[in-house]
Amino acid sequence: MRSSLTPLGPPVSRDRIITSFPKWYTPDACLQLKEHFHGQVSTACQRRNTGTVGLKLSKVVVVGDLYVGKTSLIHRFCKNVFDRDYKATIGVDFEIERFEIAGIPFSLQIWDTAGQEKFKCIASAYYRGAQVIITAFDLTDVQTLEHTRQWLEDALRENEAGTCFIFLVGTKKDLMSGAACEQAEAEAVHLANEMQAEYWSVSAKTGENVKAFFSRVAALAFEQSVLQDLEKRPSSRPQVSDGNGDLIQIEGHSPKTQENKRPPGLGCC
Protein backbone atom coordinates (compact mmCIF):
# COMPACT_ATOMS: atom_id res chain seq x y z
CA MET A 1 0.00 0.00 0.00
CA ARG A 2 1.27 3.46 -0.82
CA SER A 3 -0.07 6.23 1.38
CA SER A 4 0.62 9.92 1.71
CA LEU A 5 0.37 12.10 4.77
CA THR A 6 -2.59 14.44 5.11
CA PRO A 7 -3.17 17.21 7.68
CA LEU A 8 -5.79 16.82 10.40
CA GLY A 9 -9.04 18.59 9.53
CA PRO A 10 -12.34 19.46 11.24
CA PRO A 11 -14.42 16.69 12.89
CA VAL A 12 -15.92 14.13 10.50
CA SER A 13 -19.66 14.15 9.83
CA ARG A 14 -21.82 11.84 11.95
CA ASP A 15 -22.55 9.41 9.16
CA ARG A 16 -18.84 8.77 8.67
CA ILE A 17 -18.38 7.53 12.23
CA ILE A 18 -17.97 3.74 12.36
CA THR A 19 -18.04 2.10 15.75
CA SER A 20 -18.80 -1.54 14.95
CA PHE A 21 -17.54 -3.61 12.04
CA PRO A 22 -19.91 -3.11 9.05
CA LYS A 23 -21.51 -6.28 7.66
CA TRP A 24 -21.08 -7.84 4.24
CA TYR A 25 -23.77 -7.73 1.54
CA THR A 26 -23.97 -11.49 1.10
CA PRO A 27 -22.12 -14.25 2.95
CA ASP A 28 -21.88 -16.08 -0.41
CA ALA A 29 -19.19 -13.65 -1.62
CA CYS A 30 -17.51 -11.73 1.16
CA LEU A 31 -13.94 -11.06 2.18
CA GLN A 32 -14.44 -11.88 5.83
CA LEU A 33 -17.37 -13.06 7.90
CA LYS A 34 -16.34 -11.79 11.31
CA GLU A 35 -18.46 -9.08 12.90
CA HIS A 36 -15.89 -7.43 15.15
CA PHE A 37 -12.59 -5.66 14.73
CA HIS A 38 -9.52 -7.83 15.17
CA GLY A 39 -8.57 -8.04 18.86
CA GLN A 40 -5.23 -6.36 18.30
CA VAL A 41 -6.88 -3.54 16.34
CA SER A 42 -9.49 -2.88 19.03
CA THR A 43 -6.77 -2.75 21.67
CA ALA A 44 -4.61 -0.43 19.56
CA CYS A 45 -7.58 1.88 18.98
CA GLN A 46 -8.52 1.96 22.65
CA ARG A 47 -4.92 2.87 23.52
CA ARG A 48 -4.73 5.37 20.64
CA ASN A 49 -1.75 3.31 19.55
CA THR A 50 -2.46 3.20 15.79
CA GLY A 51 0.77 4.84 14.64
CA THR A 52 0.44 6.95 11.50
CA VAL A 53 -2.79 5.28 10.30
CA GLY A 54 -4.89 8.35 11.14
CA LEU A 55 -2.60 10.61 9.13
CA LYS A 56 -2.56 8.64 5.88
CA LEU A 57 -4.80 8.31 2.84
CA SER A 58 -5.76 4.82 1.76
CA LYS A 59 -6.10 4.54 -1.97
CA VAL A 60 -9.25 3.10 -3.51
CA VAL A 61 -9.45 2.68 -7.29
CA VAL A 62 -12.79 2.25 -9.08
CA VAL A 63 -12.63 0.57 -12.51
CA GLY A 64 -15.14 -0.80 -15.01
CA ASP A 65 -16.72 -0.24 -18.41
CA LEU A 66 -17.93 3.15 -19.55
CA TYR A 67 -21.45 4.09 -18.47
CA VAL A 68 -21.69 1.49 -15.68
CA GLY A 69 -22.06 4.23 -13.07
CA LYS A 70 -18.65 4.58 -11.38
CA THR A 71 -18.81 8.38 -11.13
CA SER A 72 -22.46 8.25 -10.03
CA LEU A 73 -21.61 5.80 -7.23
CA ILE A 74 -18.78 7.97 -5.94
CA HIS A 75 -20.80 11.18 -6.20
CA ARG A 76 -23.75 9.63 -4.38
CA PHE A 77 -21.47 8.67 -1.51
CA CYS A 78 -19.24 11.74 -1.35
CA LYS A 79 -21.71 14.49 -2.33
CA ASN A 80 -25.09 12.79 -1.92
CA VAL A 81 -26.13 13.78 -5.45
CA PHE A 82 -27.31 11.89 -8.52
CA ASP A 83 -27.15 13.20 -12.10
CA ARG A 84 -29.24 11.38 -14.69
CA ASP A 85 -27.20 12.91 -17.54
CA TYR A 86 -24.08 11.05 -18.62
CA LYS A 87 -20.81 12.97 -18.55
CA ALA A 88 -17.91 10.68 -19.39
CA THR A 89 -14.96 10.83 -17.04
CA ILE A 90 -11.87 11.97 -18.90
CA GLY A 91 -8.79 10.23 -17.52
CA VAL A 92 -9.22 10.23 -13.74
CA ASP A 93 -10.69 12.19 -10.88
CA PHE A 94 -10.61 11.65 -7.12
CA GLU A 95 -12.45 12.43 -3.91
CA ILE A 96 -11.17 12.28 -0.35
CA GLU A 97 -13.60 11.01 2.23
CA ARG A 98 -12.86 11.23 5.94
CA PHE A 99 -14.07 8.72 8.53
CA GLU A 100 -13.69 8.09 12.21
CA ILE A 101 -13.29 4.38 12.82
CA ALA A 102 -13.19 2.99 16.36
CA GLY A 103 -12.33 6.52 17.48
CA ILE A 104 -9.41 6.93 15.04
CA PRO A 105 -9.47 9.31 12.05
CA PHE A 106 -9.13 7.51 8.72
CA SER A 107 -9.34 8.76 5.13
CA LEU A 108 -10.04 7.13 1.81
CA GLN A 109 -8.79 8.64 -1.42
CA ILE A 110 -11.31 7.34 -3.96
CA TRP A 111 -10.06 7.37 -7.55
CA ASP A 112 -12.69 7.50 -10.27
CA THR A 113 -11.30 6.26 -13.60
CA ALA A 114 -12.56 6.53 -17.15
CA GLY A 115 -14.18 3.48 -18.72
CA GLN A 116 -13.76 4.73 -22.27
CA GLU A 117 -11.03 2.89 -24.17
CA LYS A 118 -9.37 6.09 -25.40
CA PHE A 119 -8.71 7.23 -21.81
CA LYS A 120 -7.58 3.86 -20.51
CA CYS A 121 -3.85 4.52 -20.71
CA ILE A 122 -4.24 7.74 -18.70
CA ALA A 123 -6.39 6.04 -16.07
CA SER A 124 -4.17 2.98 -15.69
CA ALA A 125 -1.26 5.20 -14.66
CA TYR A 126 -3.18 5.77 -11.41
CA TYR A 127 -3.80 2.13 -10.47
CA ARG A 128 -0.55 1.77 -8.56
CA GLY A 129 -0.56 1.79 -4.75
CA ALA A 130 -4.20 0.78 -4.40
CA GLN A 131 -5.26 -0.79 -1.14
CA VAL A 132 -8.75 -1.43 -2.51
CA ILE A 133 -9.84 -2.18 -6.09
CA ILE A 134 -13.53 -1.78 -6.89
CA THR A 135 -14.59 -3.39 -10.17
CA ALA A 136 -18.00 -2.05 -11.17
CA PHE A 137 -20.50 -3.40 -13.68
CA ASP A 138 -24.07 -2.57 -14.70
CA LEU A 139 -26.56 -5.15 -13.38
CA THR A 140 -28.70 -4.60 -16.49
CA ASP A 141 -25.83 -5.34 -18.92
CA VAL A 142 -24.22 -8.77 -18.58
CA GLN A 143 -21.36 -7.84 -20.93
CA THR A 144 -20.10 -5.31 -18.42
CA LEU A 145 -19.90 -8.11 -15.84
CA GLU A 146 -17.85 -10.23 -18.23
CA HIS A 147 -15.44 -7.34 -18.74
CA THR A 148 -14.69 -6.97 -15.02
CA ARG A 149 -12.13 -9.80 -15.20
CA GLN A 150 -10.02 -7.76 -17.60
CA TRP A 151 -10.41 -4.56 -15.56
CA LEU A 152 -9.28 -6.39 -12.46
CA GLU A 153 -6.32 -7.99 -14.23
CA ASP A 154 -5.18 -4.56 -15.45
CA ALA A 155 -5.50 -3.02 -11.99
CA LEU A 156 -3.74 -5.92 -10.27
CA ARG A 157 -0.85 -5.77 -12.72
CA GLU A 158 0.10 -2.42 -11.22
CA ASN A 159 -0.03 -3.66 -7.63
CA GLU A 160 1.74 -6.26 -5.52
CA ALA A 161 0.06 -9.65 -5.55
CA GLY A 162 -2.18 -10.29 -2.55
CA THR A 163 -2.05 -6.75 -1.16
CA CYS A 164 -5.39 -5.36 -2.42
CA PHE A 165 -8.94 -5.87 -1.21
CA ILE A 166 -11.12 -6.57 -4.23
CA PHE A 167 -14.80 -5.68 -4.53
CA LEU A 168 -17.20 -6.52 -7.34
CA VAL A 169 -20.08 -4.05 -7.43
CA GLY A 170 -23.28 -4.36 -9.46
CA THR A 171 -24.74 -0.90 -10.12
CA LYS A 172 -28.21 0.44 -11.06
CA LYS A 173 -30.02 -1.94 -8.71
CA ASP A 174 -33.09 0.33 -9.01
CA LEU A 175 -33.52 -0.88 -12.60
CA MET A 176 -33.67 -4.54 -11.62
CA SER A 177 -36.22 -6.58 -9.70
CA GLY A 178 -37.49 -10.10 -9.20
CA ALA A 179 -36.03 -13.10 -10.98
CA ALA A 180 -33.88 -11.02 -13.36
CA CYS A 181 -32.16 -9.37 -10.41
CA GLU A 182 -31.63 -12.69 -8.65
CA GLN A 183 -30.16 -14.19 -11.82
CA ALA A 184 -27.77 -11.26 -12.35
CA GLU A 185 -26.68 -11.36 -8.70
CA ALA A 186 -26.11 -15.12 -8.80
CA GLU A 187 -23.81 -14.77 -11.82
CA ALA A 188 -21.97 -11.92 -10.14
CA VAL A 189 -21.52 -13.83 -6.88
CA HIS A 190 -20.07 -16.74 -8.87
CA LEU A 191 -17.57 -14.45 -10.56
CA ALA A 192 -16.77 -12.64 -7.31
CA ASN A 193 -15.71 -15.95 -5.79
CA GLU A 194 -13.42 -16.64 -8.74
CA MET A 195 -11.93 -13.17 -8.37
CA GLN A 196 -11.65 -13.55 -4.58
CA ALA A 197 -13.76 -10.43 -4.35
CA GLU A 198 -16.58 -9.28 -2.09
CA TYR A 199 -19.87 -8.71 -3.93
CA TRP A 200 -22.31 -5.77 -3.49
CA SER A 201 -25.41 -4.56 -5.40
CA VAL A 202 -25.99 -0.81 -5.17
CA SER A 203 -28.02 2.02 -6.66
CA ALA A 204 -26.54 5.49 -7.00
CA LYS A 205 -29.98 6.74 -8.00
CA THR A 206 -31.79 5.72 -4.80
CA GLY A 207 -28.67 5.49 -2.64
CA GLU A 208 -29.47 1.87 -1.73
CA ASN A 209 -26.46 0.17 -0.08
CA VAL A 210 -24.07 2.96 -1.07
CA LYS A 211 -23.17 4.12 2.42
CA ALA A 212 -23.09 0.56 3.78
CA PHE A 213 -20.77 -0.45 0.95
CA PHE A 214 -18.24 2.34 1.47
CA SER A 215 -18.36 1.85 5.25
CA ARG A 216 -17.39 -1.76 4.66
CA VAL A 217 -14.56 -0.70 2.33
CA ALA A 218 -13.31 1.83 4.89
CA ALA A 219 -13.45 -0.61 7.82
CA LEU A 220 -11.56 -3.36 5.99
CA ALA A 221 -8.92 -0.92 4.76
CA PHE A 222 -8.60 0.61 8.22
CA GLU A 223 -8.20 -2.73 9.96
CA GLN A 224 -5.55 -3.83 7.47
CA SER A 225 -3.70 -0.52 7.86
CA VAL A 226 -3.60 -0.82 11.65
CA LEU A 227 -2.41 -4.44 11.47
CA GLN A 228 0.30 -3.51 8.97
CA ASP A 229 1.39 -0.63 11.18
CA LEU A 230 1.61 -2.95 14.20
CA GLU A 231 3.56 -5.54 12.21
CA LYS A 232 6.11 -2.97 11.09
CA ARG A 233 7.00 -2.05 14.65
CA PRO A 234 10.09 -3.69 16.08
CA SER A 235 9.15 -6.28 18.66
CA SER A 236 11.67 -7.64 21.12
CA ARG A 237 9.38 -10.44 22.25
CA PRO A 238 7.71 -13.18 20.15
CA GLN A 239 3.96 -13.67 20.38
CA VAL A 240 1.50 -16.54 20.45
CA SER A 241 -2.26 -16.44 20.10
CA ASP A 242 -4.27 -16.74 23.31
CA GLY A 243 -7.00 -18.50 21.31
CA ASN A 244 -9.22 -15.40 21.14
CA GLY A 245 -7.42 -13.67 18.26
CA ASP A 246 -5.37 -11.62 20.76
CA LEU A 247 -1.66 -12.11 21.25
CA ILE A 248 0.56 -12.99 24.15
CA GLN A 249 4.18 -11.95 23.71
CA ILE A 250 7.19 -14.22 24.10
CA GLU A 251 10.87 -13.63 23.06
CA GLY A 252 11.96 -12.16 19.61
CA HIS A 253 9.34 -12.48 16.79
CA SER A 254 6.97 -10.12 15.02
CA PRO A 255 3.16 -10.37 15.54
CA LYS A 256 1.34 -13.20 13.71
CA THR A 257 -2.25 -14.35 14.21
CA GLN A 258 -4.60 -16.77 12.50
CA GLU A 259 -6.35 -13.77 10.97
CA ASN A 260 -3.34 -12.09 9.41
CA LYS A 261 -1.44 -15.16 8.20
CA ARG A 262 -3.20 -14.95 4.83
CA PRO A 263 -2.45 -11.75 2.88
CA PRO A 264 -5.47 -9.49 3.46
CA GLY A 265 -7.61 -9.16 0.33
CA LEU A 266 -7.50 -12.82 -0.55
CA GLY A 267 -10.93 -14.29 0.19
CA CYS A 268 -11.11 -15.58 3.70
CA CYS A 269 -14.72 -16.76 4.06
Ligand X SMILES: Nc1nc2c(ncn2[C@@H]2O[C@H](COP(=O)(O)OP(=O)(O)OP(=O)(O)O)[C@@H](O)[C@H]2O)c(=O)[nH]1
Which positions lie near ligand X, rule CB under 6 A?
A: 66-72, 83-86, 88-89, 114-116, 171-172, 174-175, 203-205
Q: Which amino acid is located at 167 in the chain?
A: F
> What residue 84 binds from ligand X, Mg ion, none (CB within 5 to 8 A, per partner kind)?
ligand X
Min. distance of Cβ 123 from Mg ion in angstroms?
10
Min. distance of Cβ 74 from ligand X in angstroms?
8
Nearer to ligand X, 118 or 237 (CB): 118
97 has which bridge partners? Answer: 108
Q: Does 71 bind Mg ion (CB under 5 A)?
A: yes
Nearer to ligand X, 123 or 197 (CB): 123
Nearer to ligand X, 26 or 82 (CB): 82
Give long-range contacts, CB 8 A cutoff, 24+ apart: 149-155. 149/191, 149/195, 151/63, 151/64, 151/65, 152/63, 152/195, 152/197, 154/63, 154/124, 154/127, 155/61, 155/63, 155/124, 155/127, 155/130
> What residue 265 binds from Mg ion, ligand X, none (CB within 5 to 8 A, per partner kind)?
none
Min. distance of Cβ 139 from ligand X in angstroms?
9
Min. distance of Cβ 42 from ligand X in angstroms?
35
Nearer to Mg ion, 56 or 147 (CB): 147
> What residue 264 binds from ligand X, Mg ion, none (CB within 5 to 8 A, per partner kind)?
none
Q: Read out DSSP for 170-197? A: EE-GGG--HHHHHHHHHHHHHHHHHHT-
| CA–CA gap between residue 105 and residue 206 (Å, rounded) | 28
| CA–CA gap between residue 211 and residue 202 (Å, rounded) | 9
Nearest of 145, 247, 148, 265 to residue 196 by alpha carbon = 265
Q: Which amino acid is located at 193 in the chain?
A: N
Min. distance of Cβ 67 from Mg ion in angstroms?
8
Nearer to ligand X, 101 or 169 (CB): 169
Residue 87, SS3? coil
Angle, vertex CA 20, rays to CA 223 and CA 95, nearest 5? 60
Q: Does 89 bind Mg ion (CB under 5 A)?
A: yes
Nearer to ligand X, 175 or 268 (CB): 175
Min. distance of Cβ 170 from ligand X in angstroms?
10
The site for Mg ion (CB under 5 A) is made up of 70-71, 89
